[in-house]
């Protein structure tokens, strides 16, 4: 078996791309053994035990920029995790390390550079994070969700920055029937539109509060809503359930929601937008303002300029702004179709398979 280590996490945007690539690798070459490394304090703690690949969770911490005294934990965690990484490599040296972002990726990529294990990266956002930028000069290849990210990365060699799009689990082929999908949510098979509200894997309290007021007072008559609140705030918003509003703590499998959806109100994370666009769903994007380097705002602005989405800053999100934006789109089928076409034009549903083939080629030539 050929072991390939995947390292990244903290958020779904730094974990799920690796899972999609790993599954594509195994489909292409069953002799590949993906192995995942993550942090005990990230989303990977809950997700990795549920998937089919072996994994190791390390006591890793971010750099604390304000509470700097906490960086003692960061240093101690790095030292202990470096030793665990050494033990893993002694057990079976990986052919390649794939970094997908976050501080868990930083440790593994640094180990790869120090011990001459080839590394590649998957860069999720239009403004790549610190890990991606630091290790770009040593990465054999970097797979970009946004071609705009190439402007801030240092290429290992000409051609090492590759525009693949985001690695996601592609929509099934043939696509599920839209009417049947709506019916499964308890909505009419035809007529009106379905709006998906999705603040990412952990939900968005800011979006949820506005949506809660909106669906209670101003929901358009011909609109149906699928609303993923996130588990932390589900108890607060589950009372908003009605015949036209379906409230869930977590959308799994999210494909059941995508199949029924005409328009989404969502964060502007790279994986969220990639999945929406693969399904041809335009978005009203409300970027998370506290995201590193405000990269979600850059994502949203980029996608609005590409004609694939509408950007609404969180500071401007209100019941009135949300209602006006949605009604304008519903009242203009041509505009909604234009956005859907723009979304489809940005879609790269086969990105995971393309990245897998490139990794296999790298492994064969290393």
Q: What's the pLDDT tens digit per position in 163-194?
A: 999 998 889 888 899 999 999 999 999 999 99
Q: What is the tens place of the pLDDT at every residue in 297-317?
A: 999 999 999 999 999 999 999
What pLDDT sits at residue 259? 96
Q: Is the pLDDT of residue 91 over 90?
A: yes
Judgement on whether residues 92 and 7 belong to the same structural domain of the protein: yes
Please give the mean pLDDT across all residues of the chain.
Answer: 91
Residue 57 CA to residue 47 CA, distance in Å, equals 11
Cross-strand pairs, 283: 264, 309
Residue 37 Ramachandran class (φ > 0 left, ψ -120 to 50 alpha, else beta): beta
Judgement on whether residues 279 and 134 belong to the same structural domain of the protein: no
Judgement on whether residues 294 and 196 belong to the same structural domain of the protein: yes
Is there a domain that residue 204 lies in?
yes
Judgement on whether residues 211 and 282 belong to the same structural domain of the protein: yes
Judgement on whether residues 164 and 193 belong to the same structural domain of the protein: no
Out of 66-80, 142-156, 217-231, pick the least confident.
Answer: 66-80
Residue 307 CA to residue 68 CA, distance in Å, equals 42
Total domains, the chain: 2
Residue 284 token pair? 């009203």
Is there a domain that residue 242 lies in?
yes
Is there a domain that residue 285 lies in?
yes
DSSP designation for 177: P
Residue pair 125/14 in contact by the 8 Å Cβ criterion: no
Q: Provide mean pLDDT across the span 256-284.
A: 94
Judgement on whether residues 266 and 184 belong to the same structural domain of the protein: yes
Q: Is the pLDDT of residue 365 over 90?
A: no
Residue 310 CA to residue 286 CA, distance in Å, equals 9
* Sequence-ordered list of residues with C-beta below 8 angstroms from that of 222, at least 6 positions apart, any chain: 191, 192, 193, 330
What pLDDT sits at residue 63? 65
Stated as kind and residue range, the H or E segment containing 181 is helix 178-184
Q: What is the CATH number of the domain that holds 273?
A: 3.40.50.2000
Residue pair 324/332 in contact by the 8 Å Cβ criterion: no
Structural domain boundaries enclosing 308: 178-346
Residue 202 CA to residue 15 CA, distance in Å, equals 13
Q: Provide mean pLDDT across the span 197-216.
A: 92
Judgement on whether residues 149 and 266 belong to the same structural domain of the protein: no
What pLDDT sits at residue 364? 66
Pairing outcome for strands 193-198 and 263-266: parallel
Provide the CA 57 distance to its chain's centre, in angstroms: 20
Cross-strand pairs, 103: none
Judgement on whether residues 119 and 218 belong to the same structural domain of the protein: no
Is there a domain that residue 173 lies in?
no
Judgement on whether residues 142 and 259 belong to the same structural domain of the protein: no
Is there a domain that residue 28 lies in?
yes
Measure the N-to-C terminal CA separation of the chain; round to a whole number of Å. Answer: 16
Judgement on whether residues 360 and 342 belong to the same structural domain of the protein: no
Residue pair 257/184 in contact by the 8 Å Cβ criterion: no
DSSP designation for 198: E
Judgement on whether residues 189 and 333 belong to the same structural domain of the protein: yes
Is there a domain that residue 313 lies in?
yes
What pLDDT sits at residue 79? 81
Is there a domain that residue 307 lies in?
yes
Judgement on whether residues 150 and 14 belong to the same structural domain of the protein: yes
User: 248-257 — which CB contacts under 8 Å span 24+ positions?
Assistant: 250/201, 251/198, 251/226, 254/198, 254/228, 255/169, 255/171, 255/172, 255/176, 256/181, 256/184, 256/185, 257/185, 257/196, 257/198, 257/226, 257/228
Q: What is the tens place of the pLDDT at every residue in 93-126?
A: 999 999 999 888 999 999 999 999 999 999 988 8
Out of 64-78, 157-171, 308-322, 349-363, pick the least confident.
Answer: 64-78
């Amino acid at each position: 078996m050929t072991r390939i280590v995947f390292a990244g996490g903290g958020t779904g945007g730094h974990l799920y791309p690796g899972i999609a690539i790993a599954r594509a690798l195994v489909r292409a070459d069953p002799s590949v053994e993906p192995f995942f490394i993550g942090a005990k304090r990230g989303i990977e703690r809950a997700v990795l035990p549920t998937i089919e690949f072996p994994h190791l969770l390390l006591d890793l911490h971010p750099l604390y920029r304000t509470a700097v005294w906490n960086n003692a934990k960061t240093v101690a965690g790095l030292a202990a995790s470096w030793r665990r990484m050494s033990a893993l490599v002694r057990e079976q040296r990986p052919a390649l390390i794939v970094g997908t972002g976050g501080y868990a990726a930083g440790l593994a990529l640094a180990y790869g550079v120090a011990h001459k294990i080839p590394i590649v990266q998957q860069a999720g956002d239009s403004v790549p994070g610190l890990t991606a930028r630091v290790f770009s000069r040593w990465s054999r290849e970097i797979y970009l969700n946004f071609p705009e990210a190439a402007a801030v990365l240092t290429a290992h060699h000409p051609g090492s920055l590759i525009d693949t799009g985001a690695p996601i689990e592609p929509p099934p082929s043939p696509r599920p029937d839209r009417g049947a999908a709506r019916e499964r949510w308890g909505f009419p098979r035809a007529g009106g539109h379905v709006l998906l509200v999705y603040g990412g894997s952990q939900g968005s309290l800011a979006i949820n509060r506005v949506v809660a007021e909106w669906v209670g007072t101003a929901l358009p008559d011909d609109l149906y809503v699928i609303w993923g609140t996130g588990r932390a705030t589900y108890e607060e918003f589950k009372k908003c359930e009605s015949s036209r509003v379906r409230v869930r703590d977590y959308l799994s499998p999210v494909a059941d929601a995508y199949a029924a959806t005409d328009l989404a109100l969502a964060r502007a994370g790279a994986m969220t937008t990639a999945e929406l666009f693969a399904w041809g769903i335009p978005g009203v994007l409300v970027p998370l303002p506290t995201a590193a380097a405000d990269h979600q705002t850059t994502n949203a602005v980029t996608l609005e300029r590409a004609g694939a989405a509408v950007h609404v800053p969180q500071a401007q999100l209100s019941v009135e702004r949300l209602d006006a934006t949605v009604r304008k789109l519903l009242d203009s089928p041509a505009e909604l179709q234009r956005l859907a076409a723009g979304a489809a034009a940005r879609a790269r549903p086969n990105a995971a398979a393309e990245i897998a083939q490139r990794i296999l080629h790298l492994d064969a030539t290393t």
